[in-house]
Amino acid sequence: MAQPTTAPPERATGPLTYDYVTRAIARTLGNPGRGYYVLLGSAVTLLGIGIVCLLFLLRYGMGMAGYSMPTYWAIYITCFVFWVGIAHSGTLISAILYLFRSGWRTAVYRVAEVMTVFAVMTAGLFPLIHIGRQWFFYWLLPYPNERGLWPNFKSPLIWDEFAVGTYFTVSACFLIMGLIPDIAAVRDVATGWRRKLYAITSLGWRGTNEQWRHYRPAYLYLAALATPLVLSVHSVVSWDFAMAQVPAWHETLFAPYFVAGAIYSGCAMVITLLVPMRKLFQLEKIVTVHHFENLSKLCLLTGMIVCYAYVIENYVAWYGGPTPERDAFWYRAFGRFWWAGWTMNICNAFLPWLLWFKKVRTNITALFVISIFVNVGMWMERFVIIAVHLAGEPFEPYVRAGYNATWADWGIMAGSFGWFFMWFLLFVKNFPAVSVAEVKEELPAPRRAAARHA
């Protein structure tokens, strides 16, 4: 096992140095402790549970999950939208903030980006899991075939497939692109099989002037390419709903509402992941309270947009007139799923008001707690939109029915968390979870001690 460095990080009191950054970050790749294996083991166990549940689903049909007419979509699509939403802050932090030259992003963007790629990988599984005949999933893809059959490009599900596919491709490229100089940095200190792995994955990076000269514009170009995706992906996902005529789905508001919600949940998830990681890897000096405050400001902004969207949604339902729309929102608030509706309102629309206070924004514990609530709330928001509004389908009162999820729903959802955290944990132990190169960009260039004395 390679050990890039074993030296404890010096408790530097002065400004960060290049050396400290390299060593502190490389140290995260050191021998994993027992805690790491426990975490990884739990993630793999969850994944295993999910796989077993999925096998039951495949063998016995979608009826193993809790669906009931008219709740034709439920936990799986909720998870799909949830994970796509999580994926959003990554690109926002890495691409948009890069274009705006926000220096603070350097400490957190790698985690956000990794989260993005793995969250999209997780999200992408759900449409395949939830369809009735999973073994024909490839019929959704436009591939040439002897029957001359193409998918229906009018269907929002096909748009979705393209949007999520594109987003995955671009964000994966962007992640790898940013990783190259860092991998090269750890390659130089690694030994054994890791050295070989890094030698291959660093794509021959030597850090020459020539390479940097090409690298910077390419990175900028990718950032520019990824930026519109931040807005487009979740807009398209929202159209899965907004293009249908189900009351409380059929809203022009949905695209911005979903994008804001996605960034909101993504930022919350970054906080949720960073707080323990920073602690475990002792990166307090690199990822500071300042970074958290900025993240929480982003949360505050998007949270306010989400809160506004909730208000407007209800207002339009009341003001707009068509009674099915009104019935739908009445059902959300006072129907049999009132608890889901109010959980969503409290977690997403009321709690972020706390972030107006600097004391809260700079309190890591408070932020962690709020971020968990926002994660729960955002999951609940998707559940409310999808399962609750289908169950309370206001056109056809005769079919309005309850909905009870089963072990197959919860098992596969747990499996998705296992899948996500498994990849995340494997990543942070094998690749630098904080950008070595870019953090250094924000530091003053090192000088020789002698020169300083002179």
Partner 1 sequence: MSEQMNRRRFLTVLGVTGGGAAAVSACGSDAQRTQKLIPYLIQPEEQVPGTATWYATTCRECTAGCGLHAKVREGRVIKLEGNPESPINAGRLCARGQAALEGVYNPDRVTDPLARNAGGELEKITWDDALARVKAQVKAARGKGIAFVTGNESGAFGDLVGEWTRAVGGAHVSYEPFAFEALREGNRLAFGTSAVPWYDLANAKYILSFGADFLDTWLSPVAYQSAFTRAHAFAAGRAVPMAKAVFVGPRMFLTGMNADEWVAAAPGTEGLLALALAGVIVRERLAPVPADAGRLRDLLARHTAEAVAAVAGVDAAAIERLAREFAGARGGVAVAGGMAAHYPNGAEVVAAVNILNYVAGTVGKLVRFGPNEGLEGSGSFKQMADLAADMQRGKLALLFVHGANPGHSLSGAFWEGWAKVGYKVSFSPYLDETASAADLVLPDLHPLEQWSDSRPRAGVWALQQPVMQPVFPNARHAGDVLLDLAGKSQTFKDYLQARWRPLHARYAHGKTFDEFWAEALQHGGVYTDAPAQAVRLGPQAGDLMRGAPAAPAFDGGAGDPVLIVFPSPVLHDGRGANKPWLQELPDPVSKLTWHAWVELHPETAAKWSVVDGDFLVLQSPFGAVRAPVWITPAVRPDVLALPTGQGHKAYGRYARDRSCNAFDLLSGAANAYGGRTFVVRVSPRKTGEHRFLATSAGDSRDLGPGEEIIRVLPLAQAAKLTPGAHPFAEREAPAYAEGALAGWAEAQRAKASLGNYAGRQPRWAMAIDLTKCTGCSACVTACYAENNLATVGEEQMLRHRQMSWMRIERYWRGGEGGAPVRGVVTPMLCQQCELAPCEPVCPVFAAYHTPDGLNGQVYNRCVGTRYCANNCPYKVRYFNWHNFAEPGGAWEAWPSPLDWQLNPDVTVREKGVMEKCTFCVQRIRGAQNQARLEDRTVLDGEIVPACAQSCPSEAIVFGDLHDKTSRVAQLSEDPRGYHVFETLNTKPGITYLARVLHGEEA
* Residues near partner 1 (CB under 8 A): 52, 55-56, 58-64, 66-70, 72-73, 127, 130-137, 139-140, 149, 151-152, 154-158, 161, 240, 243-246, 322, 331, 335-336, 390, 392-393, 395-402, 404, 406
SS3 for the chain is CCCCCCCCCCCCCCCCCHHHHHHHHHHCCCCCCHHHHHHHHHHHHHHHHHHHHHHHHHHHCHHHCCCECCECCCHHHHHHHHHHHHCHHHHHHHHHHHHCCCHHHHHCHHHHHHHHHHHHHHHHHHHHHHCCCHHHHHHHCCCCCCCCCCCCCCCHHHHHHHHHHHHHHHHHHHHHHHHHHHHHHHHCCCCHHHHHHHHHHCCCCCCCHHHHHHHHHHHHHHHHHHHHHHHHHHHHHHHHHHCCCCCCCCCCCHHHHHHHHHHHHHHHHHHHHHHHHHHHCCCCCCCCHHHHHHHHHHHHHHHHHHHHHHHHHHHHHHHHCCHHHHHHHHHHHHCCCHHHHHHHHHHHHHHHHHHHCHHHHCCHHHHHHHHHHHHHHHHHHHHHHHHHHHHCCCCCHHHCCCCCCCHHHHHHHHHHHHHHHHHHHHHHHHCCCCCHHHHHHCCCCCCCHHHHHC
Assigned token pair, 147: 């029957």
- Measured from the CB atom, the residue of 208 and 245 that comes closer to partner 1 is 245
Residues 6+ apart with CB under 8 A from 254: 238, 239, 241, 242
> Least distance in Å: CB of 149 to partner 1?
7
- Measured from the CB atom, the residue of 69 and 99 that comes closer to partner 1 is 69
> Least distance in Å: CB of 119 to partner 1?
22
- Measured from the CB atom, the residue of 277 and 340 that comes closer to partner 1 is 340
- Measured from the CB atom, the residue of 108 and 246 that comes closer to partner 1 is 246
- Measured from the CB atom, the residue of 243 and 253 that comes closer to partner 1 is 243
- Measured from the CB atom, the residue of 55 and 224 that comes closer to partner 1 is 55
> Least distance in Å: CB of 166 to partner 1?
17
- Measured from the CB atom, the residue of 131 and 366 that comes closer to partner 1 is 131
> Least distance in Å: CB of 420 to partner 1?
22
> Least distance in Å: CB of 385 to partner 1?
12
> Least distance in Å: CB of 92 to partner 1?
29
> Least distance in Å: CB of 393 to partner 1?
6
- Measured from the CB atom, the residue of 73 and 292 that comes closer to partner 1 is 73
- Measured from the CB atom, the residue of 63 and 228 that comes closer to partner 1 is 63
> Least distance in Å: CB of 62 to partner 1?
5
- Measured from the CB atom, the residue of 258 and 331 that comes closer to partner 1 is 331
Picking from 33, 105, 116, 102, the residue whose alpha carbon sits closest to that of residue 286 is: 105
> Least distance in Å: CB of 245 to partner 1?
6
> Least distance in Å: CB of 133 to partner 1?
4
Residues 6+ apart with CB under 8 A from 92: 112, 230, 263, 266, 298
The CA distance from 226 to 213, in Å, is 21
- Measured from the CB atom, the residue of 133 and 216 that comes closer to partner 1 is 133
> Least distance in Å: CB of 140 to partner 1?
5
Picking from 330, 301, 336, 293, the residue whose alpha carbon sits closest to that of residue 313 is: 330
